[in-house]
Chain A
Amino acid sequence: MPKDSGIGASPKRREDVRFLTGTGNYTDDINLNGQAYVHFLRSDVAHGRLVSVDTSDAAAMPGVVRIFTGADFEGVGGLPCGWQVTDRFGEVMQEPAHPVLAQGKVRHVGDPIAAVVADTPEQARDAAEAIAVEMEELPAVINMKEAVKDGATKVHDDLTSNLCYDWGFVEENREAVDKAIQDAAHVTTLELVNNRLVANPMEPRVAVGDFNRATGESTLYTTSQNPHVIRLLMGAFVLGIPEHKLRVVAPDVGGGFGSKIFHYAEEAFCTFAAKALNRAVKWTSSRSEAFMSDAHGRDHVTKIELALDADNNFTALRTETYANMGAYLSTFAPSVPTWLHGTLMAGNYKTPLIYVNVKAVFTNTVAVDAYRGAGRPEATYQLERVIDKAARELGVDPIALRRQNFITEFPYATPVAVEYDTGDYVATMDKLEEIADLSGFAARRAASEAKGKLRGLGVNCYIEACGIAPSNLVGQLGARAGLYESATVRVNATGGIVVMTGSHSHGQGHETSFPQVIADMIGIPEDMVEIEHGDTANTPMGMGTYGSRSLAVGGSAMVRATEKIIAKAKKIAAHILEASDADIELKDGQFTVAGTDKSLAWGDVTLAAYVPHNYPLEDIEPGLEETAFYDPANFTYPSGAYACEVEVDPDTGKVTIESFAAADDFGNIVNPMIVDGQVHGGIGQGIGQALLEGCVYDEDGQLLSASFMDYAMPRADDLPFYKVDHSCQTPCTHNPLGVKGCGEAGAIGTPPAVVNAVVDALQSAGKDVTHIDMPLSPARVWAAMNG
């Protein structure tokens, strides 16, 4: 029987009402009195030396308030990078400067050269066209392998080369892995590309800077997944504004998928300009600007080798990856191909020896950083593709090969430095076989063939590390931040509760799911609990929402704060009921003295906390508000098994998704409806990556896929209904809710299933095709089929 409230129920989302009636409050809906508008003049070449930027004509145009160039930002900090990777020789990565507006050189199409502030957006845009830029164009470096060759043009003149770092993991395993591969009974090798993607949340980025001369306080309204992180990075590293003079607000945010984690130049500019002009300054990105200024995702070129013994047990794995950083280091870019990728290379399998090498490379392209899954999709894709290829080479069933090598005992310490606390990979695979009706596949293939179509089945597993992360661990790995979360639970006199959380909801439904947890703990209706997020003025501190961490880390902080509330409320109840607090029980919103019928309602106790007439004032303070910070003890490890069935049209190469099934283990579930929705969205993006999406630069560094006309976003008629199941639940052992996180799973688990399915379809027709790089466009599939 499904529950109708509390943990495990699916109440309708309360945030929906404002979104469905057009009354949400997104950043672009915010207009401040007397605000001016900024338009950025962006580079239209990939690489060039700025000879001069003449703004005199433009400055005289109607409505222009002021034009800023790189010169205005001399002495102002650049955009900081939040993670320092140490390479395999013990050296720290090369870290170039990242000015707010270009200084001396432009390094990618879209690099901002000047910023025009005017009374209206149209005037700002018109004036930007009148700026005269003299540029000496330089050769662009786009291809990563070319970029690291001796003598290649350097993106940053002051660095020794275009190599950011050369990372080895685990370096001590290197020789043992080489030897195991040499001695193996069978080695499967695969070279592949993890295609460059653009996150494209439907809401483009927006920033509104404001300044109050009377108080000296700056305020930034921005489309961010983590307003506190922006306050810290921008305040401390770019503009030198202390936190108590800087407020960052991220109101309703229209999707993020990683791309709204990072601190961007436009945010710093609007805050800076508002103070310089004593006037609010607003920037709204167009979609075209978003394509050339939002951080991109993925873009790995990889060679992977899997070694097996004569009984088909995995014995070793070696991978070499070139990871594109783009022209500058975005906020968390260095961590994505390293600690969020290398540590996941064991996947669901007991491979004893693993070595991961990653070369991060600067190119004249937009910065690349985390995009839904961040490193884990790249790990899963190569691993699950090479396993599939191995099965086909060995003539064994791909599912059986996986099952044979599954990790089955937990906790399990992998050879890549992480310890999985729980999981049951057999159970999720069993569940997948059931919901995807794999036993009926042969009949479905026959039916497709009768229509002249090739049908393929692709199956794969995934594991991810979520709930990022223990601060002391990530500190050792190079993070320049802690990754805890905080929550303040404020109980009002009449019993209603406001929770202020550092987690940020931009589609995840925290306003609905977080109250379910509190309501369960206290035994009160969910509508007595309200969630506030997204404003540094309200919430104590927050690391924000990404890496599927909100419930596992932010939710845990909220639970800890609520536990403190309950402990204090019991003391108050004990005093009034003249009992010892150890004897007080809280159930269904009633405090009772164990074994008696003496009781007090929740509201009586909360009222006593604020009207402390009969109250233990000598022991405890009045009031009922508690804050907790929660720092996780480990990552969480969601896992699952996915199956995709495709049809391929042999005449055109067009692939259609006929069915898609996902069996996930997310540990405990608070709101199954929301979890399903998260998985659906991830699958949609995963199918997008596999079949449609690809960000393309030409060799001169021109961005060819610069709008929705050229970048193929998945549309409703590209996708089927999905079958999703999360009944396999092995609760996380180290957070109080036993939850693991579900936001990224779909995007991680999906691409290999689709590609495995297409390869299966082609091989079923006797085609000698072992791999096709994503996106599997009709042209690519047709070319692969026709040799």
Chain B
Amino acid sequence: MVKVTMTVNGRTASGEVEGRTLLSGFLREELGLTGTHVGCDTSQCGACVVHVDGKAVKSCTMLAAEADGAEIATIEGQAAPDGTLNVIQQAFQDHHGLQCGFCTPGMVMSAAALLKDNPKPSEQEIREYLEGNLCRCTGYHNIVKAIMAASGQDVSAVAAE
């Protein structure tokens, strides 16, 4: 067992983990942050995306021990303390960018990382960026639209909702 300490959504969190414990498992099982989802075992689906030191990372591809000392942001820390949704979360709700909600935490975290690097991505740039995030419910239409809207683009021309 190894002891790990990291900052998660601004708070210090530590625990004892096995060497093989994944960051996704640590967040879910040790810290009870079950908003980070696990949808696959081959690092394909992106349901588990969190930010590690400001970068989008699939938390199922990283050992908890590797995250020792890191700054982690998860879906639970995205809304304001009073519950107000952030711009991306709000755009997902406004544009029906989620159905079952299982892919959603990963989508929101990926979108946040994209918009940080590229504040006004084109439709094609969004689609390419989301290559590592699978959604089975939405056909991606409203996810792409929501991200365009969150970046301040006019989406009224995109087929009506």
By DSSP majority rule, is chain B's interface helix, strand, loop, or mixed? loop
Q: Does B117 contact A (CB under 8 A)?
A: no
B32-50 contacts to A (CB < 8 Å): 33-42, 44-45, 47
Q: Decide: A507 and B137 in contact? CB cutoff 8 A.
A: yes
Q: Which of B12-42 contact A (CB under 8 A)?
A: 18, 20, 28-29, 33-42
Asked whether A681 and B134 contact (CB < 8 A) given A21-B35, A707-B42, the answer is no
Is A715 touching B130 in the complex (CB atoms < 8 A)? Answer: yes
Query: Does any Cβ of B come within 8 Å of A22's Cβ?
Result: yes
**Interfacial chain B residues near A99, Cβ < 8 Å:** none
Tell me if B56 is interfacial: C-beta within 8 Å of chain A: no
Q: Name the one of B18, B108, B123 contacting A721, with C-beta atoms under 8 angstroms.
A: B123
Contact present for A677 and B100 (CB under 8 Å)? no
B136, CB-defined interface residue at 8 Å: yes
Nearest residue (CB) in B for A683 is B139
A residues less than 8 Å from B161 (CB atoms): 10, 672-673, 676
* Cβ-neighbour of A717 out of B78, B128, B139 (below 8 A): B128
Instruction: Give which listed residue, B18, B45, B92, contacts A20 with CB less than 8 A.
Output: B92
Chain B contacts for A1, CB-based, 8 A? none
| Contact between B139 and A685, CB atoms less than 8 A apart | yes
Residues of B with C-beta under 8 A to A253 = 100
B76 at the interface (CB under 8 A from A): yes
* B112 at the A interface (CB under 8 A): no
B61 CB within 8 Å of chain A = no
CB distance from B51 to the nearest CB of A (A): 13
Once the chains bind, are B93 and A20 in contact (CB under 8 Å)?
A: yes
CA distance A709 to B41 in the complex (A): 10
Partner of A17, one of B75, B93, B123: B93
If A507-B137, A716-B126, A717-B127 touch, whether A287 touches B74 (CB-CB below 8 Å) is no
Number of interface residues of A (CB under 8 A): 61
Give CA–CA (A557, B96) in the complex, Å: 27
Select which of B79, B102, B138 is within 8 A of A26 by beta carbon: B102
CB distance from B56 to the nearest CB of A (A): 15
Within 8 A of B (CB), among A185-233: 200-204
In the assembled complex, which residues on chain A have CB atoms less than 8 Å from the CB atom of B79? 20-21
Q: Provide the residues of chain B in CB contact with A717, threshold 8 Å.
A: 124, 127-128, 130-131
Which residue numbers of B lie inside 8 Å of A, CB to CB?
A: 18, 20, 28-29, 33-42, 44-45, 47, 74-76, 78-79, 83, 85, 89, 92-94, 96, 98-105, 108, 123-124, 126-128, 130-131, 133-145, 158-161
Which residue of chain A lies nearest to B104 when distances are taken between CB atoms in the complex? Answer: A19
Which 9 A-B pairs rank lowest in CB-CB distance, beginning with the nearest? A22-B35, A684-B139, A19-B101, A254-B102, A507-B100, A507-B99, A708-B44, A22-B75, A680-B139
Whether B93 and A12, one on each chain, are in contact in the complex, defined by CB atoms closer than 8 angstroms, is: yes
Q: Report Cα–Cα, A439/B149, bound state, in Å.
A: 31
CA distance A509 to B99 in the complex (A): 7
Contact check: which of A15, A682, A713 meets B134 at CB < 8 Å? Answer: A713
- CB B23 to nearest CB in A, in angstroms, measures 15
The distance in angstroms between the C-alpha atoms of A429 and B131, with both chains bound, is: 34
| Chain A residue contacts of B105, Cβ below 8 A | 22
Q: Mark A387-420, 1 if CB is under 8 A from B, else 0.
A: 0000000000000000000000000000000000
Name the CB-closest residue of B to A509: B99
B40-A254 in contact (CB<8A): no
> Which residues from A are CB-within-8-Å of B127?
715-717, 719
A533 CA / B29 CA spacing, docked (Å):
27
Q: Are A680 and B142 in contact (CB under 8 A)?
A: yes
A685 partner residues in chain B, CB cutoff 8 A: 136, 139
Whether B101 lies near A715 (C-beta < 8 A) is: no
A681 and B158 contact, Cβ closer than 8 Å, known pairs A16-B92, A717-B127: no
Contact A201 B102 (CB under 8 A): yes
What are 23 A-B pairs with beta-carbon distances under 8 A?
A12-B93, A13-B93, A13-B96, A13-B98, A20-B101, A22-B35, A23-B76, A24-B35, A28-B38, A254-B39, A254-B101, A286-B41, A507-B100, A507-B137, A684-B138, A685-B139, A687-B139, A709-B42, A713-B44, A717-B124, A719-B127, A721-B159, A724-B159
Once A13-B96, A21-B76 are accepted as A-B contacts, the answer to whether A255 and B41 lie under 8 Å apart by CB is: no
Shortest C-beta distance, A716 to chain B (Å), equals 4
Contact, CB under 8 Å: B159 / A722: yes
Binding site for B on A (CB under 8 A): 10, 12-13, 15-24, 26, 28-29, 31, 122, 200-204, 252-255, 257, 286-288, 506-509, 672-674, 676-677, 680-685, 687, 707-709, 713-717, 719, 721-724, 746
CA distance in complex: A204, B160 (Å): 32
Find chain B residues with CB under 8 A from A672 CB.
161
Please determine whether B85 and A20 come into contact, CB atoms closer than 8 angstroms: yes
Known: A286-B41, A717-B130. 5 other contacts (CB 8 A): A201-B102, A202-B39, A681-B136, A684-B136, A746-B139
Q: Complex formed: what's the CA distance from A23 to B36 in Å?
A: 10
Q: How far is the CB of B102 from chain A (nearest CB, A)?
A: 3
Please determine whether A684 and B45 come into contact, CB atoms closer than 8 angstroms.
Answer: no
Task: Check A202 against B100 for contact (C-beta < 8 Å).
Answer: yes
Closest to B108 in A: A20
> Considering the chains assembled together, what is the distance between the CA atoms of A660 and B143 in angstroms?
17
* Complex contacts, B74 vs chain A, CB 8 Å: 22
Residues A203 and B39 in contact in the complex (CB < 8 Å), given A26-B34, A122-B18: yes
Residues of B within 8 A of A288 (CB): 41-42
* A255 adjacent to B40 (CB under 8 Å): no
The reply to whether B35 and A23 contact each other, CB–CB distance below 8 Å, is yes
List of A residues within 8 angstroms of B35 by Cβ? 21-24
Also in contact, A22 and B76, with CB within 8 A (given A707-B41, A708-B40, A717-B130) = yes
